[in-house]
Amino acid sequence: MINILENKNIMTAIKASLDAGKVIMQVYDTSFNVEIKDDKSPLTEADKKANEVINSYLIDTEIPIISEENKQIDYSIRKNWDTCWIVDPVDGTKEFIKRNGEFTVNIALVESGRPILGVIYVPTIKRLYFANVEEKHAYSADLTSHDSSIDTVGANAKPLKPKTSSNSVEVVGSRSHMSQETLDFVENIRSSGKEVSIVSKGSSLKFCIVAEGKADVYPRFAPTMEWDTAAGQAICNAVGINVISQATKEPLLYNKENLLNPWFVTSK
User: How big is the CA angle at 227 (ends 177 and 154), to the nearest 5 degrees?
Assistant: 110
What stretch of H or E contains 16?
helix 8-28
Instruction: Report the alpha-carbon distance of residue 240 to residue 145 in Å, rounded.
Output: 30
Would you write out the chain's pLDDT as a tens digit for each of its 268 residues? 688 899 999 999 999 999 999 999 999 989 999 999 988 899 999 999 999 999 999 999 999 999 999 999 999 999 999 999 999 999 999 999 999 999 999 999 999 999 999 999 999 999 999 999 999 999 999 999 999 999 999 999 999 999 987 789 999 987 666 678 888 998 999 999 899 998 988 899 999 999 999 999 999 998 999 999 999 999 999 999 999 999 999 999 999 999 999 999 999 9
- SS3 category, 86: strand
In the chain, which ranges are E strands? 34-36, 42-44, 65-67, 83-91, 104-111, 114-122, 127-132, 137-142, 157-159, 168-174, 195-201, 218-220, 242-245, 264-267
Task: Give every strand in the sheet of 264-267, ordered side by side.
Answer: 218-220, 264-267, 242-245
Angstrom CA distances, 59 to 65, 102, 222, stand at 8, 28, 32
pTM: 0.96
